[in-house]
Amino acid sequence: MNKIRIAHLADFHLGAQLNGRKELNEKVNKALIKSLVNIFDVLNSAKVQLVLIAGDFYESSNIDTSLKSQIKEIFSNFNGKIVISPGNHDYISLESVYFEEWPKNTYIFTSENVDYFEFNEINTRVYGFAFTNSHIREHLISNIGVIDDSYINIGVFHGQIDSTENSYHPIFAEDILNSNLDYIALGHVHKRSEINQIGRTYYAYSGNPVGRGFDETGEKGIYLGDISKDKNGLYFYKIDNSEFHIVNLEIEDFESQNELANFIKRKLEEKFGVNYKKHYYRLILNGYLKKDQTINIDIIESMMTDFNYIEIIDNTNLYMDFDEISHEKSLKGKFVKKVLTENISAEDKKKILDIGVRAFEDLL
């Protein structure tokens, strides 16, 4: 049985200006290019025959020249074929980057009508279309028509799987069912899905290959593997890259900023392994401080300049001995005494006391 080796990637959003600290923006864009180079090295070594790029490869139609030439070089060094379906960000316009000359192995859909590229040497047809502006409301997959089952038939589509209509090329379950395609490589949703199946058709979102902010945390990668008419052997290939992590950390007793910094490093290493410094962290410190303890974020961050990126949020509270306060002869003492004797859960008590006592002490 004829089988082919493919890779499915999507949503690089190359050339984007991200929100947040400027330093982060530069790091992320550099990491994106680096990961693209890594990915195509891996794909060459793995002898991948066909790469499917399911849209939003670029952030917009206008891309700076040096970025374009880097991409063209990466593509031209690849030994297989590349098919691109432009999405709602990199949609086809008159000044579109996709109208330029691209390496011979690169095939780009430029029309909003569903069409296919035929690759006879691998007995495969790849169906797709291009966004030609930022919205599509039609169910374009339903326009595929009758497909020739003697080929491996693959779709590469940018769109939004949903049970209701939407403006980003809506895809309903019955569109997938009726397509009769062997695999649909989807783009638009940045969080990866598993490889799913409706009828005979497998489909998945690969998600974006590199996290670009604290709203895109955890492992990222691409789908890679062999497919044939009767088998889908795609698996998730994690890109070994810096990941975004939001970490909540309960502090323990400490005597100096240095001690607290070391505690944080130890905890991160336990959780993320020896290469923990390569990630992007938003670290949230929780717990209680003793009366004489303080946390100085600037000092602690300055002890972590060897990290790829870390920002620390101090969410700790001052420790309060409610029993002791309840003996104070003041309105605050009476309040605490009253709450302590209320018939409510310990958790609720603590919440009420925390807020109440802070209000009395003007700490809110």
13 contacts Mn ion (rule: CB under 5 A):
no
- Beta-carbon contacts of residue 277 (< 8 Å; ≥ 6 apart): 306, 307, 308
Residue pointed to by tokens 């044939």: 228
| Stretch of 64-72, 80-88, 324-332, 339-347 contacting Mn ion, by CB under 5 A | 80-88
Task: Tell me whether residue 228 is exposed, middle or buried, using C-beta atoms within 10 angstroms of its C-beta: 0 to 12, 13 to 18, 19 or more.
Answer: middle
Count of CB atoms situated within 10 Å of the CB of 249: 17
Exactly one of 35, 85, 88, 208 binds Mn ion (CB under 5 A); that residue is 88
Rg from Cα positions in the chain: 27
Q: Which residues 251-310 are close enough to bind Mn ion by CB under 5 A?
A: none
Least separation in angstroms between residue 60's CB and Mn ion is 12
175 contacts Mn ion (rule: CB under 5 A):
no
Of 87 and 155, the one with the shorter C-beta distance to Mn ion is 87
208 contacts Mn ion (rule: CB under 5 A):
no
212 contacts Mn ion (rule: CB under 5 A):
no
The residues that bridge with 250 in the sheet, in sequence order, are: 286
Helix axes 331-341, 346-360, angle to 10 degrees: 170
Q: At residue 233, what are phi and psi to the nearest 5 degrees?
A: -105, 30
# binding residues, Mn ion (CB under 5 A) = 4
169 contacts Mn ion (rule: CB under 5 A):
no
**Tokens standing for 76?**
């031209």
Of 87 and 128, the one with the shorter C-beta distance to Mn ion is 87
Exactly one of 188, 192, 212, 279 binds Mn ion (CB under 5 A); that residue is 188
Q: Measured on CA atoms in the order 156, 161, 166, 170, is the torsion positive or negative?
A: positive
Of 161 and 357, the one with the shorter C-beta distance to Mn ion is 161
Least separation in angstroms between residue 36's CB and Mn ion is 18
Q: Residues 25-64 vs Mn ion: string with x where CB under 5 A?
A: -------------------------------x--------
Exactly one of 87, 207, 209, 211 binds Mn ion (CB under 5 A); that residue is 87
Least separation in angstroms between residue 207's CB and Mn ion is 12
- Beta-carbon contacts of residue 105 (< 8 Å; ≥ 6 apart): 75, 76, 78, 80, 81, 82
Least separation in angstroms between residue 212's CB and Mn ion is 13
**Three-point CA angle 312, 318, 320, nearest 5°:** 155
Q: Measured on CA atoms in the order 218, 224, 229, 232, is the torsion positive or negative?
A: negative
Q: How long is the chain?
A: 364
| Stretch of 180-188, 208-216, 232-240, 334-342 contacting Mn ion, by CB under 5 A | 180-188
Of 36 and 300, the one with the shorter C-beta distance to Mn ion is 36
155 contacts Mn ion (rule: CB under 5 A):
no
**Tokens standing for 152?**
């491996």
User: Where does this chain bind Mn ion (CB under 5 A)?
Assistant: 56, 87-88, 188
